A and B are shown apart, each in its own frame.
Chain A
């Protein structure tokens, strides 16, 4: 004759109880009055006694389960044979283990992190979580032995351990997968060693839903900090330090990155001020390239006086921008030139870099790529650092010569390109006819 063991009614207002622990295991003999399990109620932890004698079977709830009052959680059977464990009330079937050759479970791949400058494998010392375990991002997942010491590696993501792909004691190359963490409780688990898979994939081409958690590029010291220590979201600092940092627009994170030991106090702000001063927010004077050239102004002058007699002849701006476009190695695309002369700026488009530039209407919504300062008729005799962001070509007259100054940011144009541009432009300005026709 078997008898159900139920979660008893515990109090007026309670409709479930937390099963703290079992005192008997499935298959144990029980006598009337034996303590079977402990339940935690609002007020206290109570022992529940067996009401019948027999053997404890069909245990359907485990320690930690919240069980509704009245639910059957075990059966006291006449004989031990009835001891067939059934699924726990709180869960579905426990996850099954997949065969080792099966496809990997879905989830975030966890790799062996980079550990040191000279190390390309790490000895996986032991796992602190098992397949099926829940894990949070800053919990330690496994330990790795490096040249210097044993390091703890945190999971890095919240979730459940779906797969362990290396065994304790194995050497794993840096960057190779060692585990998979799924966001939802996995139905299929996998546990295998590196030896199980004959040719382990170096880069994950596996059915992982996201790219693996790889150490970010950059200096290795920072990588170690991020991978091998628990994530700390808080910076410890006194209230006054925080307030003053906020008022002065300083970022305490910089102290962390500079390696200052926490907690931070007002006296640390001096150091923070220095750090912040060393890394200016805006780059005041970017590295500039500056090239100059000199050619005879005569040929250009002759062409222009010939052209100006014609009523529909091209303007100097069109000619000059056309020549500049021709010199500019723009790879076939249109070069938009801003041509400034007598304090008016005219945009020219130069498709294909051949011929004359085409004047664009003032409302044209295009960005110029080159600024040409035509100062031939001005009193200015030399300029330096006079460009406002755009590569700038300035034309100055000196007697019967032209002086060209080309300035650009080091990041805008390579040295070679700058050299060839000015050389080409100077050459074209010396023989304009040849290049216009």
Chain B
């Protein structure tokens, strides 16, 4: 099977959908000729023209508002938000308008909008360009949240998002754009709300999102050498969230670590850990441990930045203590 980069996978997804449905258009900063700073959308303006691949000024609330209005009136916009951190600029358009219009219009209006943005630290982009803010939008009813962990998911989830009649926010890890994975040719649609068991195991469950799936897989390799069999689960979408797969796994292993690049407190890990505690309480032989980014602004200093996010070694250390039945205090 061919291997392509995440960047190529995204490009393919957008191009295939735009060929299939002419109401789809792309809008954002530097998406046309520049193909975005990450070079993801290269070639699209050449194929579809400037009416459907639209460069905007540096005016996020503005172009998000344009996209929401367009979505309400028959178009299917894909909005490119250059850095996930800029989501704060468009919160009203995204969370008050896009998220609630279908409900508040009594179902008369849909907002079939896809917001494509990114997340992930360790790029040395400092605090305002390194955040992983998916927890904030996952908290808002009316929005779906997808988190591809490789090129395969990037293509499959994006295509599903584009075809969804609801607003979907899809977060790509900016560190992974050049990472390759096997992606089949042809149509590829990954359904929302279906988690993927990436590695089977019996002693401990590792739930990871986005690039943390790779962290979990590396940790599982290290643990396997120590005789600990770890199961790795990629939820793929946070909203909707496939708890069935997660619960089945935790009931098998009785131990769980949830790993996410959002901040430790008040985030995705807390939500998943809480649901596991509620739904699989009597199957737990130890606390569900959350591992997120430290509750600090992401540092600019490389040495500091690298220790603020979960690493395979960190996961292994926690897993060993869980297996040993130690009291763990990861606050």
Contact = CB atoms under 8 A, between A and B. Distances in A.
Contacts of B285: 238-241, 265-266
Contacts of B286: 238, 265
Contacts of B284: 238-240
Contacts of A265: 285-286, 325
B281 interface: yes
Nearest to A261: B325
Interface in B226-261: 254
Nearest to A242: B282
Interface in A251-307: 263, 265-267
A160 B38 CA distance: 73
Contacts of B281: 239
Interface in B277-307: 281-286
B325 A243 contact: no
A243 B280 CA distance: 12
* Dominant secondary structure of chain B at its interface with chain A: loop
B58 interface: no
Contacts of B254: 238, 240, 266
A243 B327 contact: no
A27 to B, nearest CB: 48
Contacts of A239: 281-285
Interface in B315-329: 325, 327
Interface string A199-243: 000000000000000000000000000000000000000111111
A253 to B, nearest CB: 19
A267 B283 CA distance: 14
A242 B284 CA distance: 10
A240 B254 CA distance: 8
A240 B283 contact: yes
Contacts of A243: 282-283
Contacts of B325: 263, 265, 267
A408 B283 CA distance: 50
A240 B282 CA distance: 5
Contacts of A240: 254, 282-285
Interface of A: 238-243, 263, 265-267
Interface of B: 254, 281-286, 325, 327
17 contacts: A238-B254, A238-B285, A239-B281, A239-B282, A239-B283, A239-B285, A240-B254, A240-B282, A240-B283, A240-B284, A241-B285, A242-B282, A243-B282, A265-B285, A265-B325, A266-B254, A267-B325
The 8 closest A-B pairs by CB, nearest first: A265-B325, A240-B285, A238-B285, A243-B282, A266-B285, A239-B282, A239-B281, A265-B285
Given A240-B285, A265-B325, 18 more contacts: A238-B254, A238-B284, A238-B285, A239-B282, A239-B283, A239-B284, A239-B285, A240-B254, A240-B282, A240-B284, A243-B282, A243-B283, A263-B325, A265-B285, A265-B286, A266-B254, A266-B285, A267-B325
